[in-house]
Structure 1
């Protein structure tokens, strides 16, 4: 989908939280700045020259987007910090000369933030275009060429997938043993589980992620989503068994429906399900450019820790994880539980 960074704080923050994209952008754009205490800083006067706008225009955006810019690195230097910074600078790029008691400065991240909202500048518009191109390139490069299975780069994915597979078998066995209904029950009640967790049927989920018919939906789900599904499947299997044994017969669909309604309202499951919805909706939009419309209320910016988790040096492809003895040991423990 086409992103308009000037109007979407969420899209802006997803880019600004991606340290790998910022590194490439800093190298590509070559905006200059002054290295101060390990970080490159820019004055307002330097941004006037970079963007070709007036100082009052930048002040306008500091007023309208102050909280966002401050969160992304805009700060005001005073006292000792100001004196040591000015010692590195040409007075001509300090807005009020050498006697100013305070000086607002922008980190590179804050400069990008300003470029994303600055509609009066053609140079900012060009930078926005390059930002989007470079972010796409970085995501593809770090994820091994595609993001369909970016979920599998998480070290928690394999244990969660194995557990969900195990509990799914128990759930299927419970449907087989305790529900009086034809084979269509497996698809119907799997969809019911998905709808409780993320409000979509399997086919809807596949459409949002643009998956092929042969693609497994579970293979693309994040560890937190798989654990929420496993928790539901495990609890429902136990409830079906207990009620069927109590009644000494198989359950009717209407009776199983009541169990599903109770599970959906269960306060113990609510935090797990809420967390799964936030993770799925936010990451799929940020990593896969996929919007789950039924979960729009749960979308947040992707935190910096998630970019490290799925794109960083410690994230690994599924093949790499499967060759790790420690991962295989985890599987053995799960198998023997």
Structure 2
């Protein structure tokens, strides 16, 4: 995550989409406000006081970042909604009886503004604390092992098992249908990786700071493993078909042409793009690891992913391996 939240929409949204970090930030800041319809709200006057800026500055940010702030909970109350708010809180919110419109910030919108404001020392202090809390929360909820946070996803083990099966099909095809020395296994593993996420194993290890003996696939998300499995299975089929048509083993150049065709296959495009987006976005958010060749795919991580990798449904790999439901899934996969 960038140390300067003022410049990165994605980093700001990754904070605001993380319910576990928001809970801790809210506890730490203790900003007050009013609780209405199940959420904390702050008026513009209250926000001005909390951040130590004038109202014109807040208005300018509301204009310049209208969509982002609205997405995160800033809204303007009118009519019935405003009347209900006034009746509920009266003078507690410093709103005159003749006020017909009132801009209010949710807690998320307040944090959003604090992450944008460059003119406020108070906002700068809030940003610094936000960064510390987010790092602590991710480390705590991942068990201190963000390199393998992917394994906390309930979809990881079935995807890993499935990929392992297709990997065997692929390596068998390389053995039987490619005319090349034994180093072909490493060469074409890297070519599959490059087809999926534009990096070879060495590059991937460096970005994630994996030890030489650690298997890169152990750190890959389910969607990435599924994309790899799709390509490996497709390549195995194509190699067998072409080899039988030619009546000989394929030459490396011929296999390279098949890989290029598969990489640009429109049927696989959604799978490939999803894998790249998930890898690039999650690694930047959870692991603070930037895949430069996938920068175009980086997006804010949705709230559902924080639940998926850090919430109640997430588990350490050791827990999943002892889970009867997981073992039942493995049995079904094996019996296919």
Normalised by the length of structure 1, the TM-score is: 0.97
Alignment-derived partner of residue 71 in structure 2 = 71
* SS of equivalent to 1:85: helix
Mapping 1:46-125, distance limit 5 Å: 46-89=46-89, 91=91, 93-94=93-94, 97-125=96-124
CA distance in 1, matches of 2:217, 2:282: 15
Moved more, 80-89 or 138-147: 80-89
Give how far 1:245 is off.
1.7
Mapping 1:159-198, distance limit 5 Å: 159-198=158-197
Give how far 1:92 is off.
6.9
Alignment-derived partner of residue 132 in structure 1 = 131
Alignment-derived partner of residue 28 in structure 1 = 28
* Contact persistence 2:19–2:303 (CA under 8 A): yes
Q: Which ranges in structure 2 are unaligned for 5 or more consecutive residues?
A: none
Mapping 1:221-300, distance limit 5 Å: 221-300=220-299
* SS of equivalent to 2:97: helix
* Contact persistence 1:170–1:237 (CA under 8 A): yes
CA distance in 2, matches of 1:59, 1:2: 26
Tell me if 1:151 matches 2:150.
Answer: yes
Q: Deviations over 1:244-278 (max 9, x none)?
A: 12222211111111211111121111111011011
Give how far 1:94 is off.
3.0
Moved more, 230-239 or 254-263: 254-263
Give how far 1:3 is off.
2.2
Alignment-derived partner of residue 9 in structure 2 = 9
* SS of equivalent to 1:301: coil
Alignment-derived partner of residue 45 in structure 2 = 45
* Contact persistence 2:170–2:232 (CA under 8 A): yes
Give how far 1:323 is off.
1.1
* Contact persistence 2:2–2:11 (CA under 8 A): no
Q: Deviations over 1:68-102 (max 9, x none)?
A: 1100000111122211212333537435x221101
* Contact persistence 2:227–2:271 (CA under 8 A): yes
Tell me if 1:331 matches 2:303.
Answer: no
Mapping 1:206-221, distance limit 5 Å: 206-221=205-220
CA RMSD in angstroms comes to 1.1
CA distance in 2, matches of 1:242, 1:92: 76
* Contact persistence 1:17–1:302 (CA under 8 A): yes
CA distance in 2, matches of 1:57, 1:278: 35
* Contact persistence 1:180–1:251 (CA under 8 A): yes
Quickly say closer, same or farther: Cα 1:2–1:278, change in 2 above 3 A: closer
* Contact persistence 1:91–1:98 (CA under 8 A): no
CA distance in 1, matches of 2:278, 2:206: 18
Q: Which ranges in structure 1 are unaligned for 5 or more consecutive residues?
A: none
* Contact persistence 2:2–2:8 (CA under 8 A): no
